[in-house]
Amino acid sequence: MNAKFSLLIEEVFYQYGIFVKGKVQSGSIKTGDKLKVISQNAEMENLCASLEMYVQQEKVSVKEAIKGDYVCIGLLQGSKLQIKKGMKLIAP
């Protein structure tokens, strides 16, 4: 049985949208996957718009990230006021 995707958000920033960084704790994620941002008292539906990783010290777009990968995820919606370090990103 495959574990569902989860990632603890370590960093949140804006570039040309909202991005979160962290290490994939379980499962895997692909561009286009539906996600939920979880805080202590709220949940927000979202979508993985892009995935980026550092490969040999270069940032590259990837189609999938798996458990153990340190990844930057571009989210379709949200703001720094809604999404903060310490929240969790999971597969619904």
What was the pLDDT predicted at 2? 61
Please tell me the distance from the alpha carbon of residue 13 to that of residue 56, in angstroms, as a whole number: 23
Quick one: what percent of the chain has pLDDT higher than 90? 71
Q: Tens of pLDDT along 39-69?
A: 888 899 999 999 999 888 888 999 999 999 9
Residue 31 lies in a domain: yes
Residue 1 has pLDDT above 50, yes or no: no
Residue 1 lies in a domain: no
Write out the residue range of the structural domain in which residue 10 sits.
Answer: 6-90
Tell me what percent of the chain is helix, strand and coil, each rounded to the nearest 5: 0, 60, 40
Residue 17 has pLDDT above 90, yes or no: no
What was the pLDDT predicted at 4? 94
Burial degree of 46 (CB within 10 A; 0-12, 13-18, 19+): buried
Instruction: Determine how β-strand 28-30 pairs with β-strand 11-14.
Output: unpaired
CATH number of the domain where residue 18 is located: 2.40.30.10
Q: How many domains does the chain divide into?
A: 1
What was the pLDDT predicted at 60? 92
- Short-list 11, 73, 81, CA closest to 36: 73
